[in-house]
A and B are shown apart, each in its own frame.
Chain A
Amino acid sequence: MKKKANLPIDVGTWASSTGLSVEEVKAAWKELRRRGLLTMKRDKVEVSSLAMRRAASDAERRLSAHLAGYLLTENSFIVRRAGDPAGLPSILDTRITVEQIANYFKEGWGVTEIERDLDLLTRSEIEAGIQYYLNHREEIERDMRRSQELYEKHAPRRDTVPA
């Protein structure tokens, strides 16, 4: 009974949804549990809000992000909010989108400079954002165009001062 409480999980399902091996899932689960980042309430897994950003490996990041309900991408730092429609590709657990990092990158900013502006992010997270942009240029450029079109459509050309 006690053992079951420690591993109440369908390791196989988790492995296939995270792209990890069963051994990797088991090890990541054990480590995240040991550090108190994943806890069990009844038979539900609770993911600490720190789990994803404190994860020490790709496997830990992927597992905690999956358990927190994010949609994973091939890069363990980049996720989408689940739902219909799903969210924009973002840095795990931050609300900073790949599009926003890519906007800086396209303007010629370096990682150090981006880090100063988006000071919530680590160097690895910014690099992951840039890498994701380079591997998915079309998708991110489409997101950029959409943002620009929305702004162009809704923003007034000049300010109309209230009476």
Chain B
Amino acid sequence: MNAEQVPPGTLFARLLTDIMIPSQFSAAIRAQGYDVAEVRAMLSEIQQDDRAILTEATRQKRAVITCNYSDRSSNFCLIHEEWRGKKKVHFGIILIPQAQISNRLQRWEVRDRLLRFLNQRTADELKNQLSWLPKE
């Protein structure tokens, strides 16, 4: 982790949480000082399209936090590969398991795992990376 010589406020990743991530969860990440935008606040054309979400996140220099990795017709693993093939840049994709967010207790463990993950990385280190949230 190279924490030297970056302008203030740009060391850690800016984030965009996808539509299936509860506001309460985004607020908990925000409460730790992260800049978190939510897809739910964006235009419905963006809300309804995985690619539009990654494009908008890239425009705003944000990493996307999403649970969509298993839909065979469109998911962020596929789009990550596609963009890599085209040498298109994004600011990071972090995949978290929805089945754990919809569990009242595990939700807060997921929050803690995510915060630990984010604290260990600069915005630069997430760039163009597809990351799965660690299990512990």
Interface centre among A93, A95, A96, A97 (most CB of B within 10 A): A95
CB pair B120–A162 under 8 Å, yes or no, is yes
| B62-91 CB contacts (< 8 Å) to partner A | 67-74
Instruction: Return chain B residues, CB-CB under 8 Å to A86.
Output: 72-73
Chain B CB within 8 A of A39 CB? no
B135 CB, min distance to chain A CBs, angstroms:
5
A78 CB, min distance to chain B CBs, angstroms:
14
| B113-128 CB contacts (< 8 Å) to partner A | 113, 116-117, 120-121, 125
Instruction: Return chain B residues, CB-CB under 8 Å to A100.
Output: 20, 67, 98, 102
Instruction: Return chain A residues, CB-CB under 8 Å to B134.
Output: 155-159
Bound-complex Cα distance A155 to B47 (A): 26
Instruction: Return chain A residues, CB-CB under 8 Å to B104.
Output: 107
Instruction: From A49, A93, A95, A159, give the contact of B20 (CB < 8 A).
Output: A95
Look across to chain A and name the residue whose beta carbon is closest to the beta carbon of B120.
A161
User: For this complex, into which size category does the number of interface residues on chain B fall?
Assistant: 35 or more
CB pair A95–B48 under 8 Å, yes or no, is yes
Instruction: Return chain B residues, CB-CB under 8 Å to A147.
Output: 69-70, 97-99
CB pair A157–B120 under 8 Å, yes or no, is no
Q: Is the interface of A mostly helix, strand, loop or mixed?
A: loop
Instruction: Return chain A residues, CB-CB under 8 Å to B95.
Output: 151, 154-155
CB pair A162–B125 under 8 Å, yes or no, is yes
B53 CB, min distance to chain A CBs, angstroms:
9
Look across to chain B and name the residue whose beta carbon is closest to the beta carbon of A106.
B102
CB pair B40–A49 under 8 Å, yes or no, is no
| A79-122 CB contacts (< 8 Å) to partner B | 80-81, 83, 85-88, 93-97, 99-100, 103-104, 107, 109, 116-120
Instruction: From B48, B98, B136, give the contact of A158 (CB < 8 A).
Output: B136
CB pair A148–B73 under 8 Å, yes or no, is no
Q: Chain B: residues with CB nearer than 8 A to chain A?
A: 1, 19-20, 22-24, 40, 44-45, 47-50, 67-74, 95, 97-99, 102-104, 113, 116-117, 120-121, 125, 132-136
With A81-B71, A151-B132, A155-B132 given, name 19 new contacts (CB 8 A). A81-B73, A83-B73, A87-B71, A88-B71, A95-B68, A103-B98, A103-B99, A117-B22, A117-B23, A148-B99, A150-B69, A151-B97, A155-B95, A156-B134, A157-B134, A157-B136, A159-B117, A159-B136, A162-B121
Q: List 21 A-B contacts (CB under 8 A).
A: A81-B71, A83-B73, A87-B74, A88-B70, A88-B73, A94-B48, A96-B19, A100-B67, A103-B99, A107-B102, A107-B103, A109-B102, A117-B23, A118-B20, A154-B132, A155-B133, A155-B134, A157-B135, A159-B116, A159-B134, A159-B136
